[in-house]
Structure 1
Amino acid sequence: MARTDHFNDPDAPRANSIVIAVSAFVLDKDAQLLMIRRTDNGYYALPGGRHELGETMTQTVVRETQEETGMTVEVTSLVGIYSNPDHVMAYDDGEVRQEFSICFRARPVAGAPRTSDESSEVVWVPRAELAGIEVHPSIRLRIDHGFRTDAPPYYT
Structure 2
Amino acid sequence: MTKRTRRIDYWHDPDAPKPTTRKASASVFVLDDAGRLLLLRRADNDLWTIPTGGIKKGETVAQCAIRECREETGLEVEATGLVGVFSDPGHVIAYLHGKKLDEVRQPINVCLRARVTGGRIDPDPREAADVAWVDPADLDGYRIHPAILRRIRHGLTSGEPYVE
Aligned: 1:32 with 2:32: no
Partner of 1:40: helix, strand, or coil?
coil
Residues 1:43 and 2:52 aligned together: no
In structure 2, runs of 5+ residues without a counterpart are none
- The reply on whether 1:80 has 2:96 as its aligned counterpart is no
TM-score by length of structure 2 reads: 0.91
Q: Which residue of 2 aligns with 1:153?
A: 161
Q: Which residue of 2 aligns with 1:139?
A: 148
1:111 aligns with 2:115: no
Query: What code does the residue aligned with 1:119 have?
Result: A
Corresponding pairs, count: 155
Q: Higher strand share goes to which structure?
A: 2
Aligned to 2:10: 6
- Paired residue secondary structure (2:102): coil
1:103 partner amino acid: C
Q: 1:102 aligns with which of 110, 131, 135?
A: 110
Q: CA deviation at 1:52?
A: 1.0
Q: Distance in 2 between matches of 1:108 and 1:131?
A: 24
Structure 1 counterpart of 2:132, from 108, 118, 123 = 123
Once residues 45 and 62 of structure 1 are traced to their aligned partners in structure 2, the CA distance between those partners, rounded to angstroms, is: 15
Structure 1: distance between partners of 2:158 and 2:87: 21
Distance 2:8 2:57 in 1: 26
Offset of 1:149 from its aligned partner?
3.8
Shift of 1:131: 1.5
Deviation track 1:43-67 (CA, whole Å, cap 9, x = no partner) reads 0000010111111111111111001
Percent of residue pairs identical: 43
Q: Which runs of 4+ in 1 moved over 3 A?
A: none
Unmatched segments (≥5 aa) in structure 1? none
User: What's the RMSD between the two structures over aligned residues?
Assistant: 1.0
